Structure 1
Amino acid sequence: MAALALSDVATRGSVARLILALSAACAVAAGGLILWAVGDWILAAGFGAAAVIVIGAVVAVRLLLPAAQVAATEPDWTVAHAIASASPDAIALTDRAGRLVCANDRYQAIFRGYPTPPNLGLDDVQGDRLGAAGRQAWRDGDARTDIDVRGNAVEATITRVGDDMLLWKFETTDASDLVATTTALIAGPDGDRLGSAGIMAALLSPDGRIRAANRVFRARAMGQEDGAIEGRDFARFLVTDSAGLVHFEREGLSGTSLRVLQVPFLDGDDAPILVALLDEEPAMALPAIGSSAASHVRSLIALLPVPLALIDRDGRFVHMNDAFTRAAGVDAAAPPLYPGDLVVREDKGALADSVRRFGAGAGHATQLPVRFAERPEEPVQVSLTGARGLGDAAVLMSLKDSSEEGKLKRQVAQATKMQAVGQLAGGVAHDFNNILTAIIGHCDLMLMRHTPGDSDYDDIHQIRTNSNRAAGLTRQLLAFSRQQTLRPQVLQLPDVISEVSNLLKRLLGETVHLVVQHGRGLGPVRADPGQLEQVVVNLAVNARDAMLAVSPNGGGTVTIETSAVTARAVRKMEEDVLPVGDYTALRISDTGTGIPADVLPKIFEPFFTTKEVGKGTGLGLSTVYGIIKQSGGYIFAENLPGSGAAFTIYLPVHAASAGAPAPATPAAAAPKVKAGETWGTGTILLVEDEDMVRAVAERALVRQGYTVLTAENGEAALELLRGQAAPDLLISDVVMPLMDGPTMVRHVRKQFPNLPILFMSGYAEEQLRRSIDIDNVAFLPKPFSVQQLAEAARDVLAAK
C-alpha cells in the first residue's frame, strides 16, 4: 500500500513539473505579446510573473484536491463489522458488483465460511429463489424469502442501503424459542382447544419430567384442572394392565384405556418430548383369533358371498375369504402381503393411508375407488372399517365390483353425448337444407334460360352438381342423428345384397374376395332399401380398408351372411340391449386383425376415425348406426376369435296385420315436365319464413302457370286468407317463428276443411310426423329442385 502511495505521489510530481513548464512558456509568450503591443518592458514582465503565479496556484490545488477527495470517500468498515457482530442474526453486506464487503461471525457459522450471497451452497431451486429476492431488493428496496440450510428453516431479508449496497439478514429459529412457544401453546387456550377434541397433551423434558400440560391432562391425571403438575414424573401418572393397555393411575385398571402417541418434535437426545394421549375405543365383545369361537367367525367370513379380508395394525393381510380372492384375482400360491400389492401404483398411497388410519383406531367407515393391477380398466369400490376383538385384525376390508355400474354410467354418458350431437347435427342440416334449396332452385331457374353449349351452362350445372353433393352430406348428418327422411319398404335382405353385390366387387378390388351366404327361412323386414345399401357398402369398404392397411397386396376375404334369428335364440343370447323377438340378421365380417380393445367402444361415435388426417371424417359408422336405429334395428361390433372383426345387424321381422288391405295398384305416373314447360293452373298460397327459399319457390311455381300468394309466417297467412276465397293448394314450411305450419293449417282447416296441404321442411318427415299428422297432407323434404316442387304441387292437386 505504501509503495502504491509513493508511486502515486511521484506520478503527480511529474505531471506538476510538466504543467509548470508549459505554464512558464505560456507566460513568456503572453509577456512578449504585451511588449509588442505596448512597448513597456516593466508592464510585460509584471504580466508574465502574475500569469506564472496564478497558473501555479491552480495546478497546486488540482494536485492536492483528488487525494483529499479519495481519502474522504474511502469507507471505514470497522464500525459496520462491530455492529453486525452484535446482531444475533447472520448479517452480510454486498456492493453493487455483488462482492462481499463484510459479514459477522453468525454468518460464518451458518454458512461455514464467507460465501457471497446468493451463492451460499444451496440447491438450484433455493439459489434461484434467493437470487430473485436480491434482484427484487435492488429494484424495490427490500425483499424476503425462506430457504433451507441443512434442514433448518432460515428467513432471509434483503434491504437496499443507499444506492450501492445490499444488507442481507438471515434469521434462524432457535430450538429454545420453539420449546418456549410450544410450552405456552399447550398450557394456554390452544391446549384447551386440543382438550375439547379429546386430546390430552404434555411436554416432557428429556428425563421424563412434565414441563407443561393442558387442562384435560391435569384433570385426568391429578383430578383437578389447576393442579401443579410441572416438574413431576410423567410415568408415575400411568399404569399398565396384563393385556398391555395403558391407564391413568388415578382411574385404575377399570378406567378407559389410553393410546400414547409421541409426536416428533426436535432432533437430539436432549430435546424435549411432546406426548399426546387418546382414549381407546371400547373393544368389541368378539373372541380373539385363535380361539374356538374365532374359528367360527373366520368360517362365517369364508362362507359369505361378499369379498372380505382382515388386516392387522401393521397393514398386512391376516385373512381373506374365497370371494375376496376371486374378486381381487389373488394367486393362492403367492398371496399378497399388503393391500397395496393388489392395486395400481397411483392408488397405493391412498389405500395405504386409509388402512393405516383405521388400524390406528378411526371409527367411521370409508369407501374409495381403486383399480387392481390385474384389471386397471375396471374400478372397484373398497370399503374399510375398524375391526376390534379379532386378535391381530384391526381393519375389515370389503370389495364392491363397480365395473357394471361404471359401464352403465359410461353408456348413459355416451347416449347423452350422441343425443346432444345428434340434435346439433339435425339443426345444422335443417339450416343448410334451406340454403341448398335456394341455391339449387336458382340454378334450375338459370338453366331454363340457358341451353347446353351456352358459355354459362357448364358453370351453372357445376354449381348445381356441387350443391347436390352438399345435400348428400346433410343426408349423412340426418342419418347419423336419426332424423333423415326414410322411404321404408317391406323387402327381403337377399334382394338388397344382390342389388349391391356388383358395386361391391368393383369397390373391394381384385385382391379382396367377396363371399355372400344366405340363410333359410328369412323373414321380411321393413327398411329403406337405398339406406340399407349404404349400410352394406359402408361396412364392406371399412373391412377392405382394415385388411389393406395390414397387407396392401395380400387382400383378404369379406363375408356377407344373412340368417334368421328366432325369439328363442335371442333369449339364449342374454343380451340386455336386444329385446326378445324374431329378427333377420345381416353379418359382415373380414379376415383382418380386428378392432383394438380401446377403439371398440368408440367406433360409433361421431367424428371418431382411425384413418389418417384427410382420409376419413368419422361419420361413416355413426351414419350406419343412425340408419339402423332409425329403422328399428340393432347393430353390434365384435372381434372374431381367430382374426378379423364382424358387424352384426338385427332387423325385426315385419309382420303385416291380418286385416291390412292389399296394396293398390299404382296409377300410371304422369310424364315429367320439361324445363321451361308451363302446365299448372290454380292459386297456391306459399308460406315460408326464409326469404331466399320463398323467392325461389314463388318463381318456380309462377313459371309453371300458378297464381302464387306468399306469406312470411303463419300469422301473415291467416291474415291474408281472412275474407278471401279458398286457394287451390297451401304449401307451407313446418318450423317457423311465431306460428308453425301445423298450427296454422289447423286454423285454416276451420275455414276451408278440404284444402289440400303440402308441407316442406329441412327436418325429417319422421321427426315431424307427430306434429303434421293431419288428413290430406303431403310432405316434400328440403332441399328440392324446381322440378320436384312443381311435380309435388301437381300430384297434390291431381289427388284433390
Structure 2
Amino acid sequence: MASLPRLPTKPDDTRGAALFAIGGGIAAAGVILWLIGDLTVAAAFFATALVIAGGLVAARRLFPRAKAGEIEPDWSVARMLAASSADAVAITDRAGRLICANDQYEQLFEGFPTPPGLPVDPAGIEQLSNAGRAAWRDGSASVARMLARGRPLGAIVERAGELDDLLVWRFRGAEGLDMAASVEAMIAGPTGDRLASAGIMTALIGPDGRIRQANRVLRARAMGHEEGAISGRDFARFLITDTHGQVRFEREGLTGVPLRVLQIPFLDGDDAPMLVALLDEEGAGAPPAIGASASAHVRSLVSLMPFGIALVDRDGRFIQMNDAFARAAQVDAAAPPLYPGDLLVREDKGVVADAIRRFANGATHSTDLAVRLKDHPDEPVALTIAGARGLGEASVLLSLKDNGEETRLKREVAQATKMQAVGQLAGGVAHDFNNILTAIIGHCDLMLMRHTPGDGDYDDIQQIRANSNRAASLTRQLLAFSRQQTLRPQVLQLPDVISEVSNLLKRLLGETVTLTVKHGRNLGPVRADPGQLEQVVVNLAVNARDAMLSQNARGGGTLSIQTRAVSAAQVRHMGSDILPIADYIALDVADTGTGIPADVLPKIFEPFFTTKEVGKGTGLGLSTVYGIVKQSGGYIFAENNRGGPGATFTMYLPVHTAPIYKEGTTPEPVRTPVAKAKPVDLWGTGTILLVEDEDMVRAIAERALSRQGYTVLTAEHGEAALDVLANNDKPDLLISDVMMPVMDGPTMVRAVRARYPDLPILFMSGYAEETLRKSIDLDNVHFLAKPFSVQQLAEAARTVLTTKP
C-alpha cells in the first residue's frame, strides 16, 4: 500500500499580528524621535517593524497551522480495505492529490500515477476526467471501457468521506472486451479451424463494420486464399445480394453458392462487436431456409461456443444446449429438461416464461435476469434471453453464466473478512479477561499466604485459583485465534512434526480408526513453532475422529494425513483470491466422516461455535487452529470431499527461503536460548513506580510488591506517572501496562528514558510479547504476560533488578 496523508490547513490569521508589529514599530519610532530627536534612528525602528511584519506574513503563508482540534485523518482503515480488494483502488482528495492506492493499482499502472492522468488511451483519459467531474457532482460515475497498454479496463468513481471530500477510483478488467478478445483468439486458433472443417465460416465484426478476425475458410472464400489480410476490411464489401435477397460472396458472383448470414450478439451495447457465422444454403435459387445440413452447422456452432448457450423453440421448449450451458445449469446436456422453467425455483418460472414468449413473438434486443436454480436456490445466476433469427425452428437464444467459481471466491473473501473482524474482537475480549483474572489470581495468592492446608477455607481458595487458571487457558486460546499469542518459530520439515505426533494420534484415534500418513517429495522447509503445529495436527485429528464417531457408533473410519509441495504455478492455476502466489507446503487432513453441512461450513473456524452437545466442547479447537496457522503466515481451508464421504482440512505454509550470504562468509550459527534460573530470594529493596490503568490490577500488584520489601509509587496512566517522577527521586524500576488511556506505556517510557536512559523497564500486558515487540522500538525492556500470580510478579521484578543491561 502507498499512502500520502493530507495536511490539514487553517485560514490565514496573520493580519492582526502584522498590524500589531507595524503599530508597535510606529510607536517605537515616535518614542525614539521624542527622546533623542534623531530621525534616522526612528526610521530604522520603523523599518525593522515592517521587516518583522513581512516575515510573519511570509512564515504563516509558508507554514500554515492546522485547525484547532483538527485530528490528522487515520488512513489505516482505508488502506486495509483497499489492500483487501481484488480491484485496483486509488483515493484522491478535492485538490486532486493521490491519498493512497493498493498494490493492484501499482502493478496495473506500473507506479502511482494520479487519476485521471493514467497511462491509458487518450479517449480513456477524457472519459476518466468526465467521470471524476460527474462523481463530484452526482456521487458516482463509471467508465465502461478504456485501454491500458492494450488491456481493456472499466472504472467506477465514487464520492466518499465524512465531508464528501474524497474520490474512490476502482479499476477492473472490462468483461466485455475480455470476452471479445477471447472470441477473437478462438476464431484465429484451433476452434476456428474446427468450425472451418464443419463448413462454418465465422468472423468477428467490430461496431464500425470492419473485420477484426476471420477463420481460414471465410478468408479462402472471400479473398481466394487462406492467408489473405482480411483484418480491418469492410465486411459488407465482400458480399453481394441478388434480386431474390440471397447473399453471396462478391468474388464468386451471382453464380456462387448462396449464403445464410447468422448474427450472434454475444455482448450488449451499441459499440460491442458482433459474431457472424456464414452457412452455405442448400439449393441455389431456393428461398432462404435452413435445411438439415445447415441445421447441423448451427448445432455445431452452438456446441463449440465457449459460453453457455441454449436454443429454445417458439413454444418455449429446449432444442439444444451446449456443454457450457449444461455445466452452469448443472444438468445433463444429453438429456436436458423439457422447458427452461424446469431448471428454476417456482418463483422465477413465470418471469422467464413471459420473457421467452415475448422474444419468440418478435421482441428485439435482449434482457438479463437474475434467476435461481432449483438445485441451488441460494446462489442467483445471470440468464440472458434474446430473440433468434435465421436459426430454423429456434426462435429464442438463452445464455447462462457459470458463476460458481466466482461465488466461491466471494464467499472465501467474505469469510476471511469476517474472521479478521472476529479475531480483533476475540483479542480485545481476551485482553480484558486477562486483567480480571490477574486480580482474581492475585487475591487468591494473598489469601493463601494467610491460610495453611489445614484451614477450612484453604481448599475453597485453591479451587477458585484452579478455575481461574482454567479460564486463563481459554483466554490463551482466544489469543491464538486472534493471532496474538507468543510463538517461537523454528525452521523445520513438516514431515518431522507429523512423525513426532503420530504415536499420540494413534492413541487418540483408537483402534477402530485407521491412520494413514503419506509424504510428498521435494518438500521445502517451513518456519513455524513446532509445538503449535503439533497442536494444529492434534486438533484436526480429534475433530475428524468425532465426525467419524457421529457417523458410526463404533467410530470406524480412515484418517489420512498427507504433505505435498505446491508450486507458485499451481497456486496461480487455483485462482484463489485468498492465497497469494508463492511456493507452499500443504498439509491435508482428510476423514471419512459425515462431512460438513453447508450451513456450518462458513462458521467452522469461528470461536465458541460447536455442533457438539452442551458441555462437550468449548468451540475453540478449530478457531485455535485457524489462529496458529494465520499467525505462522499460512492459510487453512475446509471443504467436503468430492465424490466421497468426509471432509478435508488443507493447511498451506509458505516455503522458508534462507538468506543469501556473500561468497566467503558463513551464516551465523543458530543459538538455542538458555532459560534463566529463577531467583531463589524474592526479597528486595528499592523504589518501584507502578503504572496500571485497571484499579484492581494496580491494587493487587502494589500489595504484592510491598510484601516483598519494595517501596511502591503508583499511577493510573502515563501522564500521571510523569507527574510522579517530577515530584520524586529516580526509581529503581518502572513497571507499566502497555495499553492505557490518555498516554500508553511505550510513549510514557520514551519520555522517561529521555531523563533516565538506564532505567530498567518491565512491561505487563494481556497481549502476546511477540506482538508487542513488533510495535515497541525500545531497548532493554522486559515483559510479563497477564494473568500472573503474586510470585511471578515478584520473580519478574527481582530478575529485572538483578539483570545487567
Q: Please give the TM-score of this superposition, normalised by the length of structure 2.
A: 0.56
Q: Secondary structure at the match of 1:421?
A: helix
Residue 787 (structure 2) aligns with: 783
Aligned position for 1:483: 484
- Residue 370 of structure 1 corresponds to 371
Picking from 734, 759, 764, the partner of 2:763 is 759
8 A Cα contact 1:365 1:383, kept in partner: yes
Assess if the C-alpha contact under 8 Å between 2:486 and 2:770 holds in 1: yes
Deviation track 1:605-639 (CA, whole Å, cap 9, x = no partner) reads 44443323332343221221111111112334455
CA 556–440 in structure 1, closer or farther in 2 if over 3 Å, else same? same
Change (3 A) 1:357 1:704: farther
Is this contact kept in 2: 1:607–1:617, CA < 8 A? yes
Q: Which runs of 5+ in 2 are unaligned?
A: 1-275, 279-286
Distance 1:502 1:321 in 2: 53
1:693 lines up with 2:700 in the alignment: no
Equivalent-residue separation in structure 2 for 1:521 and 1:298 (angstroms): 48
Give the superposition deviation at 1:438. 0.6
Change (3 A) 1:518 1:358: closer
Contact 1:570 1:578 (C-alpha < 8 Å) held by counterparts:
no
Q: Equivalences for 1:201-212 in 2 at 5 Å?
A: none
**Change in CA separation of 1:721 and 1:645 when aligned onto 2, cut-off 3 Å:** same
8 A Cα contact 2:738 2:745, kept in partner: yes
Partner of 1:431: 432
Q: Conserved in 2, the CA contact under 8 Å of 1:289 and 1:390?
A: no
CA distance in 2, matches of 1:434, 1:723: 29
Compared CA separation, residues 319 and 613, structure 1 to 2 (3 A): same
The separation in 1 between residues aligned to 2:514 and 2:612, in whole angstroms, is 22
1:403: Cα distance to partner?
1.9
Residues 679, 798 of structure 2: 8 Å contact kept: no
The answer on 1:670 being equivalent to 2:658 is: no
Against the structure 1 CA distance between its residues 346 and 741, is the aligned structure 2 distance closer, same or farther, given a 3 Å change threshold?
same
Distance in 1 (CA, whole Å) between partners of 2:622 and 2:329 is: 37
The alpha-carbon distance between structure 1 residues 596 and 701, as it changes in their structure 2 partners (threshold 3 A), is: same
CA distance in 2, matches of 1:553, 1:383: 52
**Residue identity opposite 1:762 in structure 2:** G
Task: Tell me which amino acid in the other structure corresponds to 1:353.
Answer: D
1:736 paired residue number: 740
766-775 vs 471-480, greater mean Cα deviation? 766-775
1:402 is aligned to: 403
Deviation digits for residues 754-773 of structure 1 (CA, Å, limit 9, x no counterpart) = 33322222233444444323
SS at match of 1:763: coil
Post-superposition offset of 1:517: 6.1
* Equivalence map 1:337-348=2 (5 Å): 337-348=338-349
Q: 1:568 to 1:298 in 2, by over 3 A?
A: closer
The secondary structure found in structure 2 opposite 1:794 is helix
1:746 positional shift = 2.2
Deviation at 1:425, TM superposition (A): 1.6
Matched residue, 1:200: none
1:647 pairs, out of 625, 646, 649, with 649
Check the 8 A contact 2:323/2:333 in 1, yes or no. no
The amino acid across from 2:730 in the alignment is A
Q: Does 1:718 align with 2:722?
A: yes
Conservation of the 8 A alpha-carbon contact between 2:366 and 2:384: yes
Whole-angstrom distance in 2 between the partners of 1:297 and 1:667: 78
- The residue identity in structure 2 corresponding to 1:706 is Y
Instruction: Map residues 161-240 of structure 1 onto 2, 5 A cutoff.
Output: none
1:204-603 correspondence to structure 2 within 5 Å? 290=289, 304-311=305-312, 314-317=315-318, 323-325=324-326, 327-328=328-329, 331=332, 333-359=334-360, 365-373=366-374, 379-386=380-387, 395-493=396-494, 496-497=497-498, 500-501=501-502, 503-512=504-513, 514=515, 523-553=524-554, 555-560=556-561, 563=563, 565=565, 567=567, 570=570, 574=574, 576=576, 577-579=578-580, 581-596=582-597, 599-603=600-604
Amino acid corresponding to residue 565 of structure 2 in structure 1? V
Q: Which amino acid aligns with 1:567?
A: S
Check 1:555–1:386 CA distance in 2 against 1; reply closer, same or farther (3 A cut): closer
Match in the other structure for 2:114: none
- CA–CA distance in 1 between the matches of 2:446 and 2:671? 36
SS in structure 2 opposite 1:737? coil
Q: Which amino acid aligns with 2:316?
A: G
The CA deviation string for residues 658-679 of structure 1, in whole angstroms up to 9 with x for no partner, is 4763345655733344xxx542
Q: Contact (CA 8 Å) 1:379, 1:401: kept in 2 or not? A: no
- Relative distance call for 1:752 and 1:332 in structure 2 (3 A) is closer
Structure 2 residue aligned with 1:165: none
| 1:314, distance to aligned residue in structure 2 (A) | 4.3
1:379–1:403 Cα contact (<8 Å) kept: no
Q: How many Å separate the matches in 2 of 1:527 and 1:395?
A: 59
| Amino acid in structure 1 at the alignment position of 2:652 | Y
* Whole-Å separation in 1 of the counterparts to 2:525 and 2:277: 69
8 Å CA contact 2:290–2:392 kept in 1: the answer is no
Superimposed CA distance per residue, residues 197-232 of structure 1 (whole angstroms, 9 cap, x where no aligned partner): xxxxxxxxxxxxxxxxxxxxxxxxxxxxxxxxxxxx
For the residue of structure 2 that corresponds to 1:454, the secondary structure is: coil
Counterpart of 2:381 in 1: which secondary structure? strand
Task: Give the residue type in structure 1 aligned to 2:797.
Answer: A
Residues of 1 paired with 2:499 and 2:737: CA distance? Answer: 39
Change (3 A) 1:750 1:375: same
Amino acid at match of 1:290: A
How far did 1:346 drift?
Answer: 3.6
Partner amino acid for 1:739? M
Distance 1:467 1:385 in 2: 69
Aligned to 1:780, the other structure's residue is in SS state strand
Distance 1:286 1:573 in 2: 33
Structure 2 match to 1:20:
none
Gaps in structure 1 of 5+ consecutive residues: 1-284
CA RMSD, Structure 1 to Structure 2 (Å) = 3.8
Q: Secondary structure, in 3 states, of the residue corresponding to 2:605?
A: coil
Contact 1:294–1:390 (CA<8 Å) still a contact in 2? no
Aligned residue type for 1:649:
M
Deviation, 1:691, is 0.3
Q: State the AA in 1 paired with 2:678.
A: P
In the alignment, the residues of structure 2 paired with residue 589 and residue 315 of structure 1 have an alpha-carbon distance, to the nearest angstrom, of 46
What is the SS of the residue equivalent to 1:718? helix
Rounded to whole Å, the distance in 1 between the matches of 2:599 and 2:720 is 56
Deviation at 1:302, TM superposition (A): 5.8
Scaled by the length of structure 1, what TM-score is found?
Answer: 0.57
Q: Is the 8 A contact 2:634 2:651 kept in 1?
A: yes
- Post-superposition offset of 1:741: 1.6
Please state how far the C-alpha of 1:712 moved relative to its aligned partner: 0.2
Cα deviation, residue 467, structure 1: 0.3
- Distance apart, 1:466 and its partner CA: 0.4
In structure 1, C-alpha distance between the alignment counterparts of 2:305 and 2:570, rounded to whole Å: 34
Superposed counterparts of 1:72-83, under 5 Å = none
Give the alignment partner of residue 680 of structure 1, picking from 684, 704, 708. Answer: 684
Distance 1:586 1:746 in 2: 44
Question: Which residue of structure 2 aligns with residue 150 of structure 1?
Answer: none
State the partner residue of 1:6: none
What SS does the aligned partner of 1:401 have? coil
Provide closer, same or farther for how the CA distance between residues 338 and 593 of structure 1 changes in structure 2, counting only shifts above 3 A: closer
Cα displacement (A) at 1:469: 0.3
Given that 1:687 and 1:711 are in contact with CA atoms closer than 8 Å, whether structure 2 keeps it comes out as yes
DSSP 3-state at the match of 1:453: coil
Q: Distance in 2 between matches of 1:306 and 1:489?
A: 49
2:741 corresponds to which letter in structure 1? P
CA contact (8 A) 1:570 1:581 kept: no
Q: Whole-Å Cα distance in 2 between the matches of residues 336 and 294 of structure 1?
A: 25
Give the match for residue 125 of structure 2: none
CA distance in 2, matches of 1:629, 1:335: 45
Query: How far off its partner does 1:468 sit?
Result: 0.5
Question: Match for 1:750 among 747, 754, 775?
Answer: 754
The 1-side partners of 2:294 and 2:555 are apart by 67
SS at match of 2:401: strand
Q: Deviations over 1:130-156 (max 9, x none)?
A: xxxxxxxxxxxxxxxxxxxxxxxxxxx
